[in-house]
Amino acid sequence: MRNLLLFLILAYSVSSFGQEHAWVYLSDKPNSATALANPNTILTQKALDRKAAHNVAIDFKDVPVDESYITVIKAQPGITVMSKSKWFNALHVIGNPTDIMALNTLTVNGTAIVSSIDFADDNFDARISQNQDKHEFEASLTTFNYGNAANQAVMIGADDLHQHPNSYTGTGMTVAVIDAGFTNVSTMNGFQRLRDNGGILGGYDFVDRNTDVYAYTGNAHGTWVLSDMAGYLQDQFVGTAPDANYYLFRTEDAATETPLEESLWVEAAERADSLGVDVINSSLGYTTFDNPNYNYTPAEMDGNTAYITKGANIAFQKGILVVNSAGNSGSGSWQIVGAPADAAGVFSIGAVKADGTYASFSSRGSSAQPTQKPDVVAQGQANYIITTSDVVTTSNGTSFSSPIMAGGIVCLWQALPSLSNAEIMQLVRESASQYNAPDFFLGYGIPDLSLALAQGLSVSEFQNENLSLKIYPNPVSNQLTVQIPSQLEEARVRLYDVLGKKILDTKVTAINKTINTSTLSKGVYLVKIDSDGLSVTKKIIKN
């Protein structure tokens, strides 16, 4: 370390007329969702083939640095951009330290575009650190007063994601809300923050076939649902994904109940896929219709019969994470989870009260359904929403437990962008309160998204540089080898299909390390390995 006198002399001379090197780290990549949904626009076919051959995920690091951000920074006085890195989402700049530090204030469409600056000369970083007011730094972290919405966010750990040092509030993620009317979303104070941030990317009314998704005012269900994800009223209410981007699609005609609504839902899901949407929230369900000849039977809620259910399964195959309300038939004659929540590829959400106990109206699972339903639960009785007149009030229904959970999942996926929809769903299941003993009322229970994040951040090796774990061959045919370090006596190995169903639960040792996979169907599986408090999840392909 240079002595203080020398430091002051150099600092003065450089700040007066010298040029410094610095890395400017950018806050996000606004078009990352679209780019990742269309990887051929950012990677060559050879690169795509190589990644596929080695089971390497295409992730945020593959997306180029946003050109509009580069243009803004290049235009700043005294700044020269020398290089850019998509891996680090950073620019290498040269300039006067004062001019470089001024980049911290830059915004595009009201959003700050610089997350941090790192000088090549550590002395400048030290000086900045010493002069920075601690309280000012703390204030820069995401802090929300959730008001009445606190319980529904805290129950699932969404607040922990928001308050994480990296502020996982949905930034860069895109959600399609498929619902009924979106009355007053374009004018309400409850969505002013969302609009100011450019968070509403567009919408379409599939019922009336027009682009004015706000024109229909006969039902505000979509508005209420959206508020539980994207609503914000200072010190009164915060949704679970307030900084995500949203498309609003109306497919539900509240005046009637016909099979056409199923087809409109599938149309909306197809458009969501083409737009690069990450998550669909759908607080809709179909079982019986105005014309009883069209009615489904409970036996047809089998995960693959209803048209909308089959469409939802395709959406899952396309990589979208579909979150859907389980239904409100738990205390009626129908009782069980309806379509499309019966789909194996849909993450179906039941409802609990504020104290975490079962809400009697919440639709239940059935042994006739191919996977555990509901998947998980969130608060859906006496939960809070924002009405079309900006009043925070309570409402009931899995219609609201679904977006509360969907918003939390959006934030989780923001934190773990390299994981697939199936892997995110499984992480959430494993974090839930009764994962080891699911039932037809609460499914796997109430998730803890902060726990899911911790698990998701596990590296592909056990977290000790002296311990190596190997799983081979991958792809596998008849025999999988799980090689654990000799320091460990044994490890528990669990195998899940992509829908979260446990296929195998066994143990391996340093000597007995092979698992028979000859009877497995072809496809993708998740292997979870636990030993002495260490845990890792890997994906394998069965040929």
In a 3-state reduction of DSSP, which class is residue 168?
A: coil
For CATH 3.40.50.200, the residue range(s) in the chain are 150-456
Check residue 396 and report its DSSP letter.
-
pLDDT of residue 143: 73
CATH superfamily of 150-456: Peptidase S8/S53 domain (3.40.50.200)
What average pLDDT does range 521-542 have in this prediction? 76
Q: What's the pLDDT band for 1 if we cut at 50, 70, 90?
A: very low
Would you identify the CATH topology of the domain 470-542?
A: Immunoglobulin-like (2.60.40)
Please compute, for residue 193, the number of CA atoms within 13 A of its CA located in the half-sphere on the CB side.
15
Least confident of 61-70, 226-235, 323-332, 499-508: 499-508
User: Under a CB-based contact definition with an 8 Å cutoff, are residues 222 and 254 in contact?
Assistant: no
Residue 10 scores a pLDDT above 70: no
Give tens-digit pLDDT for 208-229. Answer: 999 999 999 999 999 999 999 9
CATH of domain 4-29+64-140: 3.30.70.250
The alpha carbon dihedral of 153, 379, 408, 389 has a sign of negative
- Total Cβ atoms within 10 A of residue 31: 18
pLDDT at 125: 53
Q: pLDDT class for 463, splitting at 50, 70, 90?
A: very low
Quote the pLDDT of residue 12: 35
| pLDDT higher than threshold 70 for residue 533 | no
User: What is the three-class DSSP state of 76?
Assistant: coil
pLDDT of residue 281: 98
Q: What percent of the chain has pLDDT over 90?
A: 63
Q: What is the mean pLDDT of residues 430-442?
A: 94
Res 139 pLDDT > 80: no
Active site residues: 179, 221, 399
% pLDDT > 70, the chain: 89
Q: What is the pLDDT of residue 85?
A: 81
pLDDT value of position 152: 96
Q: Where in the chain is the domain with CATH 3.30.70.250?
A: 4-29+64-140
Query: Quick one: pLDDT band at residue 56, thresholds 50, 70, 90?
Result: confident
- Start-end ranges of CATH 2.60.40.3080 in the chain? 470-542
* pLDDT (0 to 100) of residue 63: 92
Work out the burial of residue 519: count CB atoms within 10 Å of its CB; fewer than 13 is exposed, 13-18 middle, 19 or more buried: exposed
Structure confidence at residue 136 (pLDDT): 34
Most confident option among 107-111, 403-407, 431-435, 460-464 = 403-407
